[in-house]
Amino acid sequence: MLLRLFILSFACLSLCSAIGLAPGLYCGLENCYEVLGINRDEFDKATLPKIYRKLARVYHPDRIKKDEDREQNEEKFRLIATAYETLKDDETRGYYDYYLDHPEERYYNYYQYYRMRAAPKVDVRLVILATILVISTIQYLSARQKYSEALSYAKEQIKFRNMAIDIAQQRGLLELERGKIKKKQKNGVNPEEVLNKIIEENIQISGGYKKGSIYDTLAWQIIIFPLTLFHWSVWKAKWVNKYWIKREDYDEEAKLYLIRKNMKLSEAQFQGLESREIDEYLEKELWKKAEFDKWKEEKELGEKEKLANSGRYKQYRRFMKKQAGSTISFLED
């Protein structure tokens, strides 16, 4: 009986002695405080950089000329640098002190060590904010570039130029001779600049090429998200009460919403459609799912026939899908 107690006691002592500093954590089998020659109970963060620089001047490999001593000093310098990095950060030092006081909690200590090593050095909130701002900036600049391209295209169109000439003549900005613009105007203005300005004032571009605005960026959408969610909740509650509970007939606004939903178009794309197209959709009652599916099937059959007759029609379809709802017109149109 006594022999068994002795064996168990010896095994316990052996196990407890085996639990200590781990070779893969922090300063390995060395104590980071002792590596820097610091008493843990008298630790002063303000003097830590001074102690580190003093040791670095002694053990830095560049100060050693002999190759044998350099290799030994490199190892010592890495240990000093590790000890400094561990103790200079309050959070890391806190986990290290816990590790020294509770070496038996090996899994927890490993977890905290590698979590700190893998954790980003920059505040995640700043990274998210910077990402949102970059995306929003790209969105805004891209929208402005697309609008500029659409505007340049509009200025080259005879239809818009003729409209601009009529407006300029009505305002008395340009002089005409035999239906053509005089190259030399009495007021000394450049005719092209006048026409371009009028086109830019009166042009209406919708869809993917509309004029860029900060209100269309991701940053602004995130800012107004609570308000957007509130408005959507109120709208949804009214919709459920009016059309699901009371079973009222759809008004025109509801019909247009259902048509847009069936066609899977954004609000901006749908608003860019021509009035005759929207009237056609209402006439065909495309807010009804069955009617929409029937119309879609007929349209796809017609497209297949066109595709059979035209090798470039597939390319045209891709273009039209990408630019759905994009229109360029004068405000009077």
Where is 257: in which H helix or E strand?
helix 252-263
Say how far apart CA 56 and CA 27 lie, in whole Å.
16
Residue 120: predicted pLDDT:
67
Furthest-apart CA atoms within the chain: distance in Å: 127
| E strand intervals along the chain | 176-177, 180-181, 203-206, 327-330
Q: Helices in the chain by DSSP H: which ranges? A: 2-18, 32-35, 48-59, 67-88, 90-101, 106-118, 124-155, 158-171, 191-202, 218-223, 225-239, 252-263, 267-271, 275-283, 289-309, 313-322
Residue 327: predicted pLDDT:
61
Can you tell me whether residue 301 is helix, strand or coil?
helix
Residue 314: predicted pLDDT:
59
- Mean pLDDT calculated for residue range 12-20: 44
Say how far apart CA 7 and CA 70 lie, in whole Å.
48
Read off the pLDDT of residues 132-159 as tens digits, 9 standing for 90 and up: 999 999 999 999 999 999 989 988 899 8
Residue 325: predicted pLDDT:
59
Cα separations (Å) of 232 from 10, 144, 225, 258, 260? 72, 29, 10, 15, 17
Say how far apart CA 248 and CA 245 lie, in whole Å.
8
| E strand intervals along 37-138 | none
Provide the residue count of the chain: 333
Say how far apart CA 239 and CA 233 lie, in whole Å.
10
Residue 274: predicted pLDDT:
84
Which residue reads 């979590």 in tokens?
A: 115
Residue 117: predicted pLDDT:
83
Residue 41: predicted pLDDT:
92
Read off the pLDDT of residues 48-86 as tens digits, 9 standing for 90 and up: 999 999 998 888 888 776 666 677 888 899 999 999 999
* pTM of structure: 0.58
- Mean pLDDT calculated for residue range 286-310: 86
| Nearest CA-CA partner of 155 in 331, 328, 333, 33 | 328
Work out the pLDDT band at 5, boundaries 50, 70, 90: very low
Residue 315: predicted pLDDT:
66
Work out the pLDDT band at 1, boundaries 50, 70, 90: very low
Read off the pLDDT of residues 94-137 as tens digits, 9 standing for 90 and up: 999 999 999 989 899 999 999 888 776 677 889 999 999 999 99
CATH of domain 11-118: 1.10.287.110
| Nearest CA-CA partner of 100 in 40, 35, 17, 37 | 40
Asked if 308 contacts 138 with a C-beta cutoff of 8 angstroms, the reply is no
**Range(s) of the chain covered by CATH 1.10.287.110:** 11-118
How high does pLDDT run on average in the chain?
85
Beta bridge partners of 205: 328
Check pLDDT > 80 for residue 176: yes
Check pLDDT > 80 for residue 332: no
Tokens read off for 148: 């500029």
Work out the pLDDT band at 16, boundaries 50, 70, 90: very low
Q: In this structure, what DSSP letter does residue 186 have?
A: T
> What are the backbone angles phi and psi of residue 327, rounded to the nearest 5°?
-135, 155
C-alpha angle with apex 16: 12 to 20, nearest 5 degrees? 165
